Structure 1
Amino acid sequence: MIMSGSLVRRSGVALVSAAALVALPVVPVLPGGAGGQGAAAYAVGSPAAGGGPVGAAAPYAQGHWRGGWAAAPQQATGVFGKNWSEGGFARQTVRQVVRVATGGAQARIKLSNRYGAAPLKVAGATIARTAQGASVQAGSVRQLTFGHGRSATIPAGGELLSDGVGLRVRALESVTVTLYLDAPTGPATFHAMAMATSYRAAGDHRSDVGAAAFTETSQSWYFLSGVEVAGGGTAARRDGVVAFGDSITDGYGSTVGANRRYPDQLAERFAAAGRPRSVLDEGISGNQLTNSTGGFGEKAVVRFRKDALNTPNVGTVVVLEGINDIGMSEWSGVPGGPTPEVSVQQLIAAQRELIRQAHGKGIRVIGATLTPFKGAEYYTERGEIKREALNDWIRTSGEFDGVVDLDHALADPADRGRIAPAYDEGDHLHPNDAGYRAMAEAVDVNAF
């Protein structure tokens, strides 16, 4: 476990220290930040156009943008229950509330059509400081532009950054992003398990301050994959943290609308220490290291570069993946049937590939041990043997730049294979709010 910068040992092998977390050279942020994104509206990764700037630069210099909030895109699916992704939107406004980990004087948004089958037409968008529910603070609504235009079209498979707009927000403050989608969108790229409420209205209500028109709700995010901030007296640094993983990173089982996922609570710890910084949650519920599934996202070794490494100012990634590879290969209750069985050697090879990708971009990787799952629907003794073997490799191999022992943080002292009752959401797999807090507290913020 990462503990107050101390050196922890098991069987004579050093696991982690404050120094270990800075063993790699810190690579300066290149002009334009991660991925070369400047302050202009920017088409990212479009297979049709290849990406590139579509507007003039906003007032802030390239490279000064920081990740405020993020969510990993997924293809439309109903595997998590009823939502708006498969039907999409037409002549409707969708309003989404997110909390930024770090503040600034300017903001911009990132929209994703990664899994769209056709170009996505965005008729207009606004950003504002959140009031309550679907309402926003009067006087805070800002019209967003894309290359200085109020509307934009995102090619199928592409992503788009808006221009920056002046909006002063504080660390841990919520902002509301509103999109008006006039033309039919078709199935929507979305993030299924938001653990937050989104709102929908018929017609164009992007500039509404009140909530009256927003009569429908959903617990997913649609098209919105990031909010970035700049300015506010904070210098650009390569100190952002990405939490990468599955539903335990995604925050399944935490209180809806309360921002109690472990990355949220880690951001709170940084802020409380007087060092607020980007802490971005790139978890996808049901995700696996080695298998891509329609409902649970592309496998980690494929999406890692897109979701974890292609973000502004990221310096460290915390990886918590593998329990679904183990459990879903043993369980007939998986939608579509069990996924292929995976060996410990395959899981280690996948973790090594993530390390290789991150180190190739000068980014540190912290390995998180898999948390206990005894009593979960897909628990088996054979699966537990694999979990323990993978955790032993994470702790002792020395291949990560640091280790956070989340297994130890959540385990019941009376039965180390089981989550402690005080931390159990109820399914013996996912933590509750207190469990996510324990995970956040297992990370030594001073070591970053």
Structure 2
Amino acid sequence: MSETKYTKWVACWGNATSITDRTAAVYAKDITLRYPIRICFSGCKLRFRFSNLTGTEPIEITNSFVSPAGATSQQSKEPVAITFSGSQAVQIQPGQEIESDEIAYNVTAGETINVSMYFAGYTQMNAGTLITGPLSSGKYTYGNYATADELPAELTRNTNWFYFLNTVDVLTEESNHALVCFGDSITAQSWPDYLAQQAWDAGIRNVSVIRRAVSGTRILREYNCITYAAYGLKGATRFPIELNVAGATTLIIQHGINDIIHPVGVEVNKFRPWSDMPTTADLIKGVQEIYLPHARKLKLKIYSGTLLPIYGWRTYDEGRDVIRNAFNEWLRTSDQFDGCVDFDVAVRDVADTKKFAEGFDSGDHLHPSEKAYQAMAAAALQILQ
């Protein structure tokens, strides 16, 4: 493959890194993680970012490899080592992210590669993100199987926790670029994957969809307790880190519903005081002061994403919905964005707009169904056409 046409690094896959759910089992040992990554651009080199952003002690990757997940790859089936200043082993300090060497590796748009990591010693599993969707799944295996063609079924389980692997970049053509989807659990679930599939099916082959989303996160605040640690970092902490995306040109922000639905009062939950409840003005100010200046500094086109219906959610009341609707109206009409992806309109009931449309509610009255996530993707697809 000629390298002359490949001159630009662009992220082709990415997730946020946050705090994993705190359970009694915090460490792993002698374990292999394998994540299949769909490659949306052809190119001749790869590089990988690994993150221990939310760890509290160093972690060491014993070795890691990239290999084709199918038989159609132009690359030989032999795994290729991912190196760091020439070494396979790397230690990542707490709060840090590290980028690999550039790896010569031919990829073709549409293929899938496997990224496999082996951890020989005790490893604190604090840095990771839970994501779902048709393109988002991984596996873990007990033992060292990072170079194995197939993982042993009797030692392997599926997982939707993506630990340590943060971003995959490809050296590709100048015309390719990345769209960043920033948000909470709504975005950590399926619509970004459906958007990637719908864009591909529509013949839009020059854009990647990079998901930077963490369930439970808020714009304005974060929790300082192990019960809700997995709800992640506040917007001011997350945003500058997660917007580190090679080749990014466009951003969709769909964030803020957790600020509205979380507070219940200390008499109900000691960690969720009423003082955390924002006004609409607070949410607008948060977006204006935290998100917009940094995104403009990066010269990104910025699209707002409206908040979805919450009628029937366990903390629903009319006052919260007043805030949501007023915030949505600002997201739709503000000239501080380059446009709006109206997710609310895409999934709400026409006759009763405070609720999800029939078949669009997952059942908890907060998260959409898979059918609704496809509708959200279709709404976002319009900005790519």
The root-mean-square deviation of aligned C-alpha atoms, in Å, is 2.7
- Cα offset, 1:413, TM superposition: 0.9
Please give the alpha-carbon distance, in whole angstroms, between the structure 1 residues aligned to 2:69 and 2:384.
33
Check whether the contact 2:6–2:43 (CA below 8 A) recurs between aligned residues: no
Other-structure match for 2:21: 77
1:262 aligns with 2:206: no
Change (3 A) 1:61 1:125: farther
Please give the alpha-carbon distance, in whole angstroms, between the structure 1 residues aligned to 2:313 and 2:217.
17
> What's the CA shift string for 1:385-439, capped at 9, x where partnerless?
0001101111122111111111111110121011112221111211122111111
Please give the alpha-carbon distance, in whole angstroms, between the structure 1 residues aligned to 2:221 and 2:383.
35
- Cα offset, 1:335, TM superposition: 9.1
Other-structure match for 2:148: 208
After TM superposition, the structure 1 = structure 2 runs for residues 168-247 of structure 1, keeping only pairs within 5 Å, are 168-194=106-132, 196-212=136-152, 214-231=155-172, 234-235=173-174, 237=176, 239-247=177-185
Among 210, 235, 249, the residue aligned to 1:300: 235
Among 46, 53, 59, the residue aligned to 1:107: 46
Among 389, 393, 398, the residue aligned to 2:326: 389
Structure 2 gap segments, 5+ residues each: 224-228
Structure 1 gap segments, 5+ residues each: 1-58, 252-260
Change (3 A) 1:268 1:292: same
Check whether the contact 1:144–1:165 (CA below 8 A) recurs between aligned residues: yes
> What's the CA shift string for 1:11-46, capped at 9, x where partnerless?
xxxxxxxxxxxxxxxxxxxxxxxxxxxxxxxxxxxx
How many percent of aligned residue pairs carry the same amino acid?
A: 28
- Cα offset, 1:92, TM superposition: 1.9
Among 252, 271, 285, the residue aligned to 1:318: 252
Check whether the contact 2:6–2:44 (CA below 8 A) recurs between aligned residues: no
Among 329, 335, 353, the residue aligned to 2:263: 329
> Aligned letter for 2:262?
M
Change (3 A) 1:169 1:376: farther
> Aligned letter for 2:118?
Y
Superposition TM-score, scaled by structure 1 size:
0.76
- Cα offset, 1:442, TM superposition: 1.2
- Cα offset, 1:279, TM superposition: 0.9
- Cα offset, 1:119, TM superposition: 2.2
- Cα offset, 1:131, TM superposition: 4.7
Secondary structure of the structure 1 residue equivalent to 2:231? coil
- Cα offset, 1:334, TM superposition: 7.0
Change (3 A) 1:445 1:140: farther
Secondary structure of the structure 2 residue equivalent to 1:318? strand
Check whether the contact 2:199–2:381 (CA below 8 A) recurs between aligned residues: no
Other-structure match for 1:94: 33
Change (3 A) 1:115 1:207: same
